[in-house]
Structure 1
């Protein structure tokens, strides 16, 4: 495994574009620190983000993993390009000539995907601890390390998303078209969900619930369900909602069923990538 990872990271860091995107990605994660300095006014009310409780343990685990997830598109480009470059520059064929099996090729890509997800998760873990201990009103150990399931959900979400990107890179061969298909699939899931739930079929509570259930099995929706938006958990948002008569009944938990769906999709993407590569004439 160490040898396979070494091969892949040598390829990545010899590619200037990939190296730049990786640096940008981790720089953006580091910019989570700057959120604490955001200030804005709503009429006569002055709001400082750090004073609103977003850095309080354990809420910060939810908030930081949700925000950090938006930056994953930079590594998605790296992973899709990583596979596309194998075809473009003939390194895939050369690796097979040098003795790697197609199974080892896919395994090396999967290990790279997991490494990116793991390193990202550890990075967010460290940033969150520093921010939390700097600004949180609660620093008892039992509180600090509660709700760490959001960190596990973040790791699973990244692993599945990067595996999806790897699958598209194997399937389509060209990074631009693969990323285009990724965007198309994102739009398809969201637009078709909106049409069905709020238009054609979602006229009753039962039919709307049925649509939610069906779409929870689609890959991007399943990933999204792992970490729901955290903003409406904030006390000042709840207060505003109560004042205007909006009842918040959202479930913010990380559900085991959603995690299982994401894990299954991860293995589907990797195994399908291997199946395609095994049967493709290189």
Structure 2
């Protein structure tokens, strides 16, 4: 445990003054609460969706998790790519091994650092939920403050999932620009095409939802059940486009473990 704290401290000292790291963290921190506050200030003409609903308990848990998932996908995914690819481009992996560190220690320090970032991003989500929720929720609705608190764990899994996928891609590609391109290309184009054009062709059932990026996305989906025009479809099962929270959580844990183990294998066996 002591050695892990030591290596995490080294990672923090290495990146705390890094401009890219600071920018990603700052933009994420500003946009996470700002998006919902902006929606609250708009005149939304969607039946059953009032502007205040997005910042009131218990629905704020779902709406902030959904908007935050896009920020995590872009900014935390990019941050994971940058942290790993910079080690390859600057050859600091090799220098650290020459200095006496093992590949296992190097990998664990990186993974540990990114898991801490993922947890802190989720903790910030929790703080934003509680602060904004208490500020904007009428007193008569405060009984439901923690009705959807399971979103906190799913949010952490979502952040960790996108970052683990980004890490694996970076360990394979090793170059920042190419890794960023593949990361976004896979999640936006490649996986959806595989699911809807190939998988659906030979197995048109719910199995097409169990792909990694889709599982991470379904951890914090758009809360259609909170909007009256889609609520009946969701409750009747006619709008079965998401994994259940349990399915998404278990699937995500499996993919995270697979991606981390695959990344570790490549770091351990390939030339650095």
TM-score by length of 1: 0.83
- 1:33–1:131 CA contact under 8 A, matched in 2: no
After superposition, the Cα gap between the structure-2 partners of 1:272 and 1:22, relative to the gap in structure 1 and judged at 3 Å, is: same
Structure 1, 253-262 or 162-171: larger mean CA deviation: 253-262
- 2:58–2:145 CA contact under 8 A, matched in 1: yes
The Cα of 1:258 is off from its aligned counterpart by 2.1
TM-score by length of 2: 0.86
The Cα of 1:42 is off from its aligned counterpart by 4.8
The Cα of 1:89 is off from its aligned counterpart by 1.2
Q: Secondary structure at the match of 2:204?
A: helix
Report what 2:10 is aligned to. 7
The Cα of 1:13 is off from its aligned counterpart by 2.0
Runs (4 or more) in structure 1 with deviation over 4 Å come to 247-254
The Cα of 1:194 is off from its aligned counterpart by 2.5
Report what 2:269 is aligned to. 279
Given candidates 269, 274, 278, the residue that maps to 2:259 is: 269
Report what 2:76 is aligned to. 75
- 2:69–2:220 CA contact under 8 A, matched in 1: no
**Match runs of 1:1-282 below 5 Å:** 1-32=4-35, 34-35=37-38, 37-40=40-43, 42=45, 49-50=51-52, 53-72=53-72, 73-137=74-138, 138-140=141-143, 143-186=144-187, 187-196=189-198, 200-201=201-202, 207-209=203-205, 212-213=206-207, 215-235=208-228, 237-238=229-230, 249-250=238-239, 254-282=244-272
RMSD value over aligned CA atoms? 2.6
After superposition, the Cα gap between the structure-2 partners of 1:107 and 1:233, relative to the gap in structure 1 and judged at 3 Å, is: same
The Cα of 1:155 is off from its aligned counterpart by 0.5
Q: Which has the larger radius of gyration?
A: 1
- 1:117–1:158 CA contact under 8 A, matched in 2: yes
- 2:218–2:243 CA contact under 8 A, matched in 1: no
Residue segments in structure 1 that go unaligned for 5+ positions in a row: 202-206
